Structure 1
Amino acid sequence: MLNPVWIKTFATVAAAHSFTDAGRQLGLSQSSVSDHVRRLEQHVGRRLFVRDTHTLTMTADGEALLAHARLILDAIARAESQFNAPRLQGRVRLGTSDDLALGPLPNVLAAFRNSHPDVELEITIGMTGKLYELMDAGALDLMIGKRREGDRRGSPLFRGKLEWLARPGTVADLRQPLPLILVPEPSVTRAIVLDTLAKAGMRWQIVCTSSSHSGCIAAARGGLGITVRAQYLSGRGLSPLVNGDSLPALPEVEFISLRAGRLSRPAETLLQLLQKSDLRGSWLDE
């Protein structure tokens, strides 16, 4: 195994073009520097420097080894930085809509937990409208969910077109009020759906209300009516209506991350992870 001490000495000599200057930088005697280089040459079985009383020249093998040495030293520095840094401690209050909780969010939380096991996660799952209320009341540090109409706060994560979904094979009877399965107010999705139907002059009837999107999915799978989900999010067991083209097209919704005014280090770290994760939409084409 290559001794990292020898590697560091070798790289320092290569940069300084001098055993004496390298020893000064490393706090070693010139004889110690020479010993490290000699041992490294013996270990790799190659001569790394050509030296005389006035010059020091790196051999072709030395140049090849130097490229590897830089990678090795960079990797060691990164590892030391990670494990020498103080471990994050504290609590993060995260609010999320349940459609995201059923989607890519668990992988992000698992990665955060693995890296920062001493941080307590307090997760609130609810309707986006309720999460906005909690954010405004100072009860959450971070929130991820749909962008509320007219609210420009937050950083975009991804966009998804809303679609009409029901039990496979469902044909909507357009002569009757559209049987809807929706979450209660305040809900970004509910407001969009009802506004779209009203503008299209269509009648509807709320046949089932659930406090969660997963409850709406279960009711729709049971054949109670029609629900709405953003594309790409889990709607297992549901399909677009057979005559869905006869219904008014639903718009896209934007999913965002929203932060409190002041964040702790753990909360800031989780926010950075969320913004670099699959929630940015890299999973959409899978």
Structure 2
Amino acid sequence: MSRITVAQLEAFYWTATLQSVDQAARRLNLSQPTISLRLKSLETELGASLFDRIGRGIRLSSNGLALLEDAREVLDGVEKIASQKHGQRVGGRIRVGFSEGFAIICLSPILAKLHQYYPDLSPELMVSTTPFIEPDLHARELDLAFLVNPTEHEDFRLVPLGAQPTSWVASTRWNLPAMVTPRDLMIHPIISNPIGSINYRQVRGWFASAGLSPKRLDICNSVAMLAHLVNTGVAIGVYPSKMADREVEDGSVRLLTTNPPIPDTPVFAKFPARADSSNIRACINTVREVLTELDYLTATDI
């Protein structure tokens, strides 16, 4: 009989997610040797190596990749059971924040499923960019938030959901090459979210990789309006790829193939570490179900 334990799977899951034994140990409030021992015991039980060493770092082996989703399902099941203690029910008010680009694509089906599954739950929604949502979450003015690349905080828990495909997007009116570099775009008007946002850092970092800056960089606080301005050919910008599906299909915009590429951006659920509840767990599980149905996120690259 297998002796695989929840503790082993938890050590594996967080090591894979955080790409570090040390960070997994901090996340679980355990010592690094304890995490290493649990990983070694799990590999012994499975008869397979779960990680490959890459220099000083690690990455999932093919066996580890195959196990990751199963481990997450087991841990979700354990948390679901735990949330039912003392007769906890799903209902009442829950204040939830959503990153705007993520919400534009996913919020409608998420809300519809919440209505279907949990008729007694009353979500109060805040939609903005992550830098505007996180302060409200940290001030306990929100109970839960779904954020793109949020900051870590010792009093808050991060639950990784996957990575949001992200691209440079441009109107087909622009005469751009098949492979686009920072030098190709620097002469064109660029638009991004405000300083401090993930979007702004993506744009600035992409040009900086070639030692360049765009000659014109306009700022817009709304992801939806940023996309509209790109669609109308006023500027070129970076945003979630699926936001452009309709315009790509009708030929008005194209997702640019770029060198360097724009990396996919990780999406997390974030909530106060001591405030886990049946309402929070119900929302996270519903969001995961919708994301799977939409095939919206890619697996986080470990």
TM-score category by the smaller chain?
0.5 to 0.7
- Structure 2: where are the runs of 5+ without partners? 1-86, 177-182, 248-252, 298-302
Identity %: 21
Contact kept? 1:112, 1:270, Cα under 8 Å: yes
Pick from 172, 175, 187: which aligns with 1:168? 172
Contact kept? 2:88, 2:278, Cα under 8 Å: no
Q: Highest Rg: 1 or 2? A: 1
Contact kept? 1:141, 1:263, Cα under 8 Å: no
Residue in 1 that maps onto 2:121: 119
- Three-state SS of the structure 2 residue aligned to 1:204 is coil
Change (3 A) 1:149 1:119: closer
Residue in 2 that maps onto 1:240: 255
Pick from 268, 275, 283: which aligns with 1:256? 268
- Cα deviation code 1:7-32 (max 9, x no counterpart): xxxxxxxxxxxxxxxxxxxxxxxxxx
Deviates more, 1:249-258 or 1:261-270: 261-270
Q: CA offset at residue 192 of structure 1?
A: 2.0
Give distance in 2, aligned partners of 1:170 and 1:144. Answer: 34
Contact kept? 1:87, 1:118, Cα under 8 Å: no
- Cα deviation code 1:244-265 (max 9, x no counterpart): 54x5322221111112220443
Q: CA offset at residue 280 of structure 1?
A: 4.6
Structure 2 letter corresponding to 1:253: T
Pick from 216, 221, 226: which aligns with 1:211? 221
Contact kept? 1:229, 1:235, Cα under 8 Å: no
Give distance in 2, aligned partners of 1:230 and 1:175. Answer: 19
Question: What TM-score results when the alignment is normalised by the length of structure 2?
Answer: 0.57
Q: How many residues align?
A: 197
Give distance in 2, aligned partners of 1:211 and 1:257. Answer: 22
- Structure 1: where are the runs of 5+ without partners? 1-84
- Is 1:159 matched with 2:163? yes
Question: What TM-score results when the alignment is normalised by the length of structure 1?
Answer: 0.60
Structure 2 letter corresponding to 1:240: L
Residue in 2 that maps onto 1:181: 191
Give distance in 2, aligned partners of 1:235 and 1:185. Answer: 27
Change (3 A) 1:264 1:87: closer
Contact kept? 1:158, 1:281, Cα under 8 Å: no
